[in-house]
């Protein structure tokens, strides 16, 4: 990612379409992950799960954020749909943790955010 200094010389009517190296499925998957993390609440939830020593439940986040329980549940479902999060039920609780089989793209993004 080095600095680009000069502007290219261009001729009228001639464009330089960049070649897209990424496969469409890869683009879709990555943008799904990004979309899941692009909401402030979900971003904080994901970071909390990333940094947590133990799995967390919905009620933990309901206590943290000023949001209703259905809303928190809805956000967590989005993280799960994106493959970022995994759930284990025990008793009346649903424990959430970061997906252990997180794809490399997701892992790198999660490590990049702060």
Given the rule CB under 8 A, which residues bind a copy of itself?
1, 3-4, 6-8, 10, 12, 15-18, 20-22, 26-28, 30-31, 34-35, 37-40, 43-44, 47-48, 50-57, 59-64, 88, 90-93, 95, 97-98, 100, 105, 107-114
d(CA 46, CA 93) in angstroms, rounded, equals 19
**Angle, CA of 104, 110 and 114, to the nearest 5°:** 155
Cβ at position 42, least distance to DNA in Å: 7
Output 69 or 105, the one with its CB closest to DNA.
69
First-to-final CA distance of the chain: 20
Question: What are the percentages of helix, strand and coil residues in the chain, rounded to 5?
Answer: 50, 10, 40
Least distance in Å: CB of 22 to DNA?
Answer: 16
Q: Which stretch binds DNA (CB under 7 A): 20-28, 31-39, 45-53, 99-107?
A: 31-39
DSSP 6-32: SPPP--TT---PPP--S-HHHHHHHHH
23 binds, options a copy of itself, DNA, none, Cβ within 5 to 8 A by partner type = none
């Amino acid at each position: 990612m080095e600095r680009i200094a000069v502007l290219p010389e261009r001729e009228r009517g001639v464009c330089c379409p960049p070649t897209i190296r990424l496969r469409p499925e890869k683009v879709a998957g990555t943008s799904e992950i990004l979309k899941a993390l692009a909401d402030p609440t979900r971003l904080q939830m994901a970071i909390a799960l990333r940094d947590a020593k133990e799995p967390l439940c919905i009620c933990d986040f309901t206590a943290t954020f000023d949001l209703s329980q259905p809303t928190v549940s809805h956000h967590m479902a989005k993280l799960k749909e994106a493959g970022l999060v995994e759930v284990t039920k025990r008793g009346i609780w649903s424990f959430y943790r970061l997906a252990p089989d997180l794809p490399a793209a997701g892992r790198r993004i999660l490590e990049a955010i702060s």
